[in-house]
Structure 1
Amino acid sequence: MLFLTAAQAAPPDPARVADRAVAAATANVTARAGQLPWIQRFRPVRNTWELGLYSGVWSPSARHEFYQPNLAVAGYGHQPLARAGADIGLRVGYYPLSFVGIELEGGVIPTTAADGQRATLYTLRPMVQAQLPYRISPFMRAGLGLVGISSPVLGKDVDTSLNLGGGVKFRVNHRVALRLDVVDNVTTAFGIGKARTNNVEALFGLSVRLGKAKARLVAPALVVIDSDGDGLRDPKQVGVLQADEDLCPKQPGPPTNGGCPLTDGDDDGLLDLVDMCPVQPETINQIDDLDGCPDSVPPVQK
């Protein structure tokens, strides 16, 4: 046992072990990112916020009711708006789950009335949004909001609207997403009765996601196999450095011996790792007793 203890190599250098651990972790993360399907990269996660801006086109109904009648002023009343107006705005959203969230939009639509005079519409729309939790995310949206107008010829008016629509998001990375929305603002129609009009928007936007760290968005942890449980990994696995591969994956052994068990083939008390004659037992005679080879005492010269 004395020989066995003396023959064991010194423990590995802690600095070298740390370097190996860092290199292995880097290789493992790279491998995981490479294995993650493209459609699942940067996918949404729960408990996040999104801030965004958008621009687009508003197409009002010719039978809209965005005006304030004033019978005391000649010619003051309903008239159609321009067939299309620019649409700009901001939005904020909170997603308690990866596939559903609530958003609030506010926008301004500068346009003109049929007689060429200025008319400015504005919108305020809370909504619920349901999306597929992938890098490309089709979604549906619905909510009740307000559409207002301010115009020298149409006056000031605010109407409620039912907002129905949908679209798609594309996540460029874990923070930034591009977004396309098509929205139908259903409001009261001009005239007597309960008729409704459809005021359609096409919006292109950019969103920035806040909340979860990037590390939560990579692939699930890669399973690394260590069949014999000795701390070294079975060979030829993704993310495992060659220096950390087990030379004997089915037999436990110390890292200093490549994961192979320490053996003493000739049973002379010296491990094969340091035994110069691993199949021939050492002769204990105070002559080179630590080389593991048989020898004899030289004859005494007379």
Structure 2
Amino acid sequence: MLRKKRCLCTSVLAATGVILASAPALAQSTNGVVDANGDGLDTHLFRPALDSKGFFATNGTSVLSANDISFGLVLDYGNSLLRVPDKGQRNAALAMHSFQGTLHFNYGIANRAIIGISLPVNLMLSGPQADANGQPLLPNQWSTAELNSQTIGAPALHAKLRLLRVEQGFGLAASVQAGVTLTDAPKNAGADPVLYAWPQLIAEKRLGSTGWFKIGANAGMRLHPASSTTLNLEDGTFKDGQRITYGLGMSARVAEPLEIVADTYGTYLLSDASAKVKPSNEVVGGIKLYVERNSYFMLGAGTRYTPGFEAATIRGFLGFIYEPSIGDRDGDGYKDDVDKCPDDPEDFDGYQDEDGCPEPNPVVHIPDPPPPPKKPPPPVNNDRDGDGIPNAQDQCPDQPETFNGYKDEDGCPDKGDVEVGDGGLILLKKIKFATNSAEILPESNEILDQIAGTIKAHPEFLLMEVAGHADERAPDQYNLVLTQKRVDSVVAALIQRGIDRSRLRSKGYGEYCPEDQGHNEEAWEKNRRVEFKIVKSKDGGPTPQLGCENAVRHGVRPAPLP
């Protein structure tokens, strides 16, 4: 696996080297936009998504986990930009062929945001712009010389902040990108003059049981110091100005390694340019081919559907996005690079739980519990209600005892803090833990006694899952480890109360299965919980849902059914 990751990384770095090697400003001696016609313009309508979580051009709302990174290289081609009247010249477009390579790097912060940098490199080509008589096609606007511009575009910094998690129903994020042009690229229609700033609002929705179908939308404004450049194009006069930006993407994960993507994006020019020149819109379709969990090749093509100045008649692109993912082969919540036993899961017994290895002699730091509840005596002939307590000792001889670890010796039905429901136990009182710890507080000994008593009174429950859940406020990985440690402590406490180890298993689901979707103290209190699910019973009844779909989407699955 490490060899494969090095190969992927090396491939991207090699491609990056090729792009940068071709980037030195070998720009032609004569620029396309003549000196008297302002500072120039940009025609790159297709701009790759900021990070590995987007569609093609449309951004997604998810972000990298804390301290994770991603980088990639996207190459795109646009044909027939800045179309002009055909007067016998070789190419009826000022930029007949536009190639751009964009390298980007991103870094995740606190599971909430990313920061990154992008570097575009341009190659702009077109024939001389002179009519059949050798006269300038656009006098005082564009040079008659052949366009052959090789430059770096506008290096840019960007940031994205996740506001709402898409896993909780609807995703929302905000981003901003700012770049500075350091070359004469604008004079060859290759970059925004001087600098630009691009704030955007990003929305996303996922559909299907595992979120396999995604829809995303972006809206923003690309701001820059407008130049005085004017061009008399085929569909009207271009005059530079600010641009409203928008995008709509859809994708379907039709197989584990394959995602089909459709994306439309565009700009609307805010200036007194001709009406037909203002809206530039393209639509593309293609695939993402995943080679690792979040690393993929992308390939697509499309065309314009409005005559705007920067919309290409043919658009094509390919790229590779690499997001290093360190696996967790044994599923214990510790990534393999820090797990001392990557193939043997940690047993979370309170003894050296931070090394990722199961210990042969675990030490469980749990207070000595009180003696287990007394087993009901064998049935006798003088037991009218059949609860195993003789009538002479039964305070309710005609009503059978409810064996739930609460006053089980009086022979009367009573309601404790544990009830048997469909598919599991219902706890009317929470199991309490010390803050940020798996230590069970002494006040929970009573509810643990009742749980143990209830399980003993139901020998038909052959296997139960003790499931741990947390609220959303801590990082995802931290919550997974903490909930696993806590349910392991609960299992250990029940074993000490006489429950056979073979009847119990544990699983921590972190924050992925909230009971309340709110984002307040009341919701957090509900979501911090321990649940008991009946995995297998003697009567062979249906198994309740274990875990949840959102946990599965994040790679957290319950153990297979026995």
State the TM-score bracket (shorter-chain normalisation). 0.3 to 0.5
TM-score normalised per structure 1: 0.37
TM-score normalised according to structure 2 size: 0.23
